[in-house]
């Protein structure tokens, strides 16, 4: 990748939408709308800055292995990425900023008619379906609850309704999705927000381009880089 181009990895939807105002604060305007454009590489008003659109879960991978210099992804995505990363070429990610956007929480939810508290009290073995296997494993291990984890890639809410699992670990923001599926939140595991991630070598080699963006983002979110 060219030393004079800066590539920012974003995912479509809330991450893209909520990052736009921060980019604007850094003087960067994305010139195409990902919802209408079919392009995966979006130009900006700055000839030296471009945005690449990737799956939310692929943002850390793009940044870590050099497909992008920096990116924005949820803390949920980052934790799971770090739990499986570590193979050859693993360089890690610099995480200078909590952007405070795309906020939600990661929680345990069960069917409204499932008595989670007494299952836990009685030491029952729980079947838990989730996309967040690493977080779920740590959380239940910390509570001393035995679980069988079932990895899913989406529609976690369906698992307790079909008998696939007793509980799910999923993201909740308004709680409307749980309610619409007769599920209830029984534990809050952690608060989630999106983070800026930077490739350490990019920060070194492209500091003059990256630092002003970090500073503008930090000022826009009201913290220090
Ligand atoms: O959709 P895709 O499989 O490509 O990836 P993704 O689902 O990871 O991407 P996306 O864009 O949906 O989410 C990107 C990031 O936004 C996540 O990694 C989180 O950090 C953050 N975020 C914030 C959320 C939510 N809020 C959220 N509510 N991600 C997902 N949800 C889902 C949740 O999984 C559940 O299905 O929304 C539903 C619950 O919402 P409520 O409002 O009904 O409670
Ligand atoms: Mg999604």
The residue contributing the CA closest to ligand 1 atom 9 is: 56
* pLDDT tens per residue, range 85-122: 766 567 789 999 999 999 999 999 999 999 999 999 99
Give the burial class of 187: count Cβ atoms within 10 A of its Cβ; 0-12 exposed, 13-18 middle, 19 or more buried. Answer: middle
Q: Work out which ligand 1 atom sits closest to the CA atom of 170.
A: 34
Q: Strands 104-111 and 6-10: what pairing?
A: unpaired
C-alpha span between 161 and 152 (Å, rounded): 14
Residues with CB under 6 A from ligand 1: 11, 13-15, 55-57, 74, 76-77, 102, 104, 154, 170-177, 192, 194
Is the pLDDT score of 17 beyond 70? yes
Nearest to 43 by CA among 56, 35, 33: 33
Q: Give the model's confidence band at 68: pLDDT under 50 very low, under 70 low, under 90 confident, else very high.
A: very high
ipTM of the complex: 0.96
Across 193-209, average pLDDT:
97
Is the pLDDT score of 146 beyond 90? yes
Confidence (pTM): 0.94
Strands (E), the chain: 6-10, 41-43, 49-53, 70-74, 94-98, 104-111, 126-130, 147-151, 167-172, 183-192, 194-198
Instruction: Give the pLDDT of residue 89.
Output: 60
Max CA separation in the chain (angstroms): 62
* pLDDT tens per residue, range 147-195: 999 999 999 999 999 999 999 999 999 999 999 999 999 999 999 999 9
Task: Please choose from 17, 18, 56 the residue to mutate so as to test ligand 1's pocket, defined by most ligand atoms within 8 A of CB.
Answer: 56
Which pair of structure tokens corresponds to residue 121? Answer: 């009290």
C-alpha span between 157 and 124 (Å, rounded): 21
Alpha carbons within 13 angstroms on the beta-carbon side of residue 200 total 6
Q: Which residues contact 212 (CB under 8 A, 6 or more apart)?
A: 26
Q: Give the model's confidence band at 8: pLDDT under 50 very low, under 70 low, under 90 confident, else very high.
A: very high
Is the pLDDT score of 4 beyond 90? no
Considering the chain, what is the average pLDDT of its residues? 95
């Amino acid at each position: 990748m060219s030393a004079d181009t800066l590539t920012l990895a974003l995912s479509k939807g809330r991450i893209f939408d909520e990052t736009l105002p921060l980019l604007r604060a850094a003087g960067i305007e994305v010139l195409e709308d990902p919802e209408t454009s079919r392009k995966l590489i979006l130009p900006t008003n700055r000839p030296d800055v471009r945005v690449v659109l990737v799956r939310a879960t692929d943002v850390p991978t793009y940044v870590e292995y050099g497909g992008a210099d920096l990116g924005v992804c949820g803390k949920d995505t980052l934790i799971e990425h770090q739990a499986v990363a570590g193979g050859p070429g693993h360089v890690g990610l610099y995480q200078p900023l909590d952007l405070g956007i795309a906020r939600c929480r990661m929680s345990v939810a069960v069917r409204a008619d499932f008595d989670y508290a007494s299952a836990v009290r009685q030491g029952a073995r729980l079947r838990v379906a989730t996309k967040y296997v690493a977080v779920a494993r740590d959380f239940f291990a910390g509570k001393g609850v035995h679980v069988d984890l079932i990895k899913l890639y989406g529609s976690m809410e369906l698992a307790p309704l079909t008998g696939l699992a007793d509980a799910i670990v999923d993201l909740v923001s308004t709680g409307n999705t749980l309610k619409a599926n007769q599920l209830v939140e029984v534990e809050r595991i952690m608060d989630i927000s999106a983070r800026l991630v930077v490739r350490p070598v990019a920060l070194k080699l492209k500091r003059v381009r990256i630092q002003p963006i970090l500073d503008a983002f930090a000022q826009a979110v009201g913290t220090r880089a």
